Amino acid sequence: MQVLLIGFEGDEVPLGIGKKLKELRANDQIRALDVLTVLMRRNRTIERQSGADLLPAAHSGELLDRLLRESSASAVMGESTSGGKGYLFEGDDIPQLRDSMRAGTGVVALLLEHRWAIPLRDAVVNSEAFPVRDGWVGRRALQRLELIAER
């Protein structure tokens, strides 16, 4: 499972992002379990909206809302994985949105299940293997490797 947070300026998800999220429905390797849009208004109040219009998901924002609100969210995502059982990779902390968002911006939060990883996870669980670390390769590193174009 992965929590992905995509930020944007204003109170409307950019059309290109919305279009790509809707295309996820056709991908059987990734399943969206939940989608939530969070807006931080200019007066710094937080507004949560179901992301069902962006990507129909089973839980209408309720799982992500709970995960992002509960103080234990960091502990849940960063729980020790030294034994390897039940985990594929060690999770990172989920940021507190109020602390990491600027006024007048929004975030689309996605709870994704990487279905392609299920057989690999099961192989790790059923063997003596254990997770070490995972991470996303950033845009600048990909540009230095010439895997994507500079903008």
For the chain, the average pLDDT equals 79
> For residues 105 and 10, what is the distance between their CA atoms, to the nearest angstrom?
5
Backbone angles phi, psi at 26, to 5 degrees: -85, -10
Give yes or no for residue 71 having a pLDDT over 60.
no
- Two tokens, residue 135: 């991470």
Give yes or no for residue 91 having a pLDDT over 80.
no
Identify the three-state secondary structure at position 47. strand
Backbone angles phi, psi at 78, to 5 degrees: -105, 15
The residue extents of the domains of the chain are 2-144
The whole-number average pLDDT for the span 9-19 is 90
The helix or strand, by DSSP H or E, that contains position 94, with its residue range, turns out to be none
Give yes or no for residue 136 having a pLDDT over 80.
no
Identify the three-state secondary structure at position 105. strand
Higher pLDDT, 71 or 30: 30
Amino acid 93: pLDDT: 59
pTM comes to 0.74
Identify the three-state secondary structure at position 112. strand
Residue 66 is given by DSSP the state: H
CA terminus-to-terminus distance, the chain:
30
Q: Is-contact 21 35, C-beta < 8 A?
A: yes
The whole-number average pLDDT for the span 125-131 is 83
pLDDT band with cut points at 50, 70 and 90 for residue 85: very low
